[in-house]
Each structure stands twice: as structure tokens, then as C-alpha cells.
Amino acid sequence: MSSELPARPSLEYLKKLAKERLHELQQQNPSAKLADVQHAIAREYGFLNWTQLKESVTSSPVPPAVPPASPYPGLFARFTTRAKRATFFSRFEAGGFGHPSIDPEHLMIGVIRARDGLSSRILSDARLSPDHLRKDVSERRSAGEPIGFTVMIEFSGATKHVIQIAAAEADRLQHHDIGTVHLLLGLLQDEKSLASSILRENGLRLDEVRGHAGDLLDDDAKT
């Protein structure tokens, strides 16, 4: 899924975003470099590399070329900052496992990583952590050789379906923004997925998460 650049994109904003994501990524992978994160951000916006993104932003006051069409046009623009981080992290989780697509279990870990530092009783009671979830995934699914940061990894059909459910949950709850809580609700409802099994085994229940949706969405606005 490609994000859309604002009508007047700022290179300074993109540089700041890259530094913030590098800091977050280095907490798990100290060897991560700024160039790796810049490349991932460029691909997120539909460009081949950081240089192409930078040139598009700085070369003309005219809005940059429209990136490749998202599976759900306009949907990603509704994502909160933390929900966008979750999809960013999910790509690195898939690559770390050596998996060729971003599956619901990678998005699950990405969601919990993106919520790092936020307090939530429902998630605290479940004792969810990225390390715990990674261990659960590794015990149930074989891993391959890690995939480099510069390789594009697409969302699987199952993950796209989860995102559709997340958007429907946001609409159902009359929330304009799509946050990490809606992604969790989407993951829980996809009962055939490994992610749903792991979340339910750790005590998360659809109705209970839905009941805390407002508070969890408010959390997404915290930095």
C-alpha cells in the first residue's frame, strides 16, 4: 500500500521522519542505517529510492507524480501516525523472518511495536511484546534468509483483507482515523490467520478491544 504525499511536501519533514524511524528501528536492530530507512520511506511513497523522492519534492512546486495506485485509494491517508508506523515496522518484520510478503502476523508485531511506550490495561493484561510475539511466530512458521531493506515486500492478500476490516471497524465506530486499535480488530476478526490465533491465545477478545477502541485511538495521538 502506498502512502500519498501532501500537496506541498516538505523535504525537512521527510528527513525528520527518516531520523525518527531510524531511532525506533535501531532499538531492535542497532546496525540499521539511515539509508535503509530512507529507502523504505521512498518505497512507501511509491518511489524507487530516496534520490527519486527527494528530486520529486525539490525540483518543482508542482505536486510530485502520483505514486502507484494503492489497493484502497485514500485509505492510507486516514491512518494515524502510529498505524503508519505499524505498517512500516511490519515490512521489517517480514524481511527479518525472510518471508516474501507482509502477512497478518507481521502486521500484528508491527502494531505492538508502534504502540511501544503507551499504557493500555487491555494490552498490558495480555502481556504482549514484540519479542514475545516474534517467538510465537517463529515457533509456528519457518523462517528463511533475511531479506534486505532495499527489496520491496508487498502486503499479502490476507493482510489487505485485514486492512479492509480495520477500515470497516473505524466506519462502524464512526471514527474517521484508522488507528492501531482498528488494525487489531481487523487481525482478531481474521480468525483463520496465525495472528488471530496468537492474539486470542494471549487473552485478547474482539468485544473487549472494541469496547476500549476510543481510548486506544486516543493513545495513537500521543508521541
More confident residue, 118 or 76: 76
pLDDT band at residue 167 using 50, 70 and 90 as cut-offs: very high
The mean per-residue pLDDT over the stretch 100-127 comes to 83
Please give the sequence-ordered ranges of beta strands (E in DSSP) within the chain, or none if there are none: 101-102, 154-155
- The 10s digit of each residue's pLDDT in 35-63 is 888 877 777 776 777 887 787 777 644 44
- The 10s digit of each residue's pLDDT in 143-162 is 999 888 778 888 999 999 99
**At a CB cut-off of 8 Å and minimum separation 6, what does 112 contact?**
123, 128, 129, 130, 133
Give yes or no for residue 64 having a pLDDT over 60: no
DSSP 8-class letter at 54: H
More confident residue, 109 or 212: 109
Determine the Cα–Cα distance for residues 14 and 42; give it in Å rounded to an integer. Answer: 9
Give yes or no for residue 18 having a pLDDT over 60: yes
Give yes or no for residue 117 having a pLDDT over 70: no
Q: Phi/psi of residue 101, each to 5°?
A: -140, 160
Burial (CB count <10 Å: 0-12, 13-18, 19+), residue 114: buried
User: 80-84, 97-101, 112-116 — which one is most confidently predicted on average?
Assistant: 97-101
Classify domain 76-220 by CATH number: 1.10.1780.10
| Res 23: pLDDT | 82
What are the residue ranges spanned by the domains of the chain? 1-69, 76-220
pTM metric for this prediction: 0.71
DSSP 8-class letter at 155: E
Nearest CA to 79 out of 107, 48, 43, 102 is that of: 107
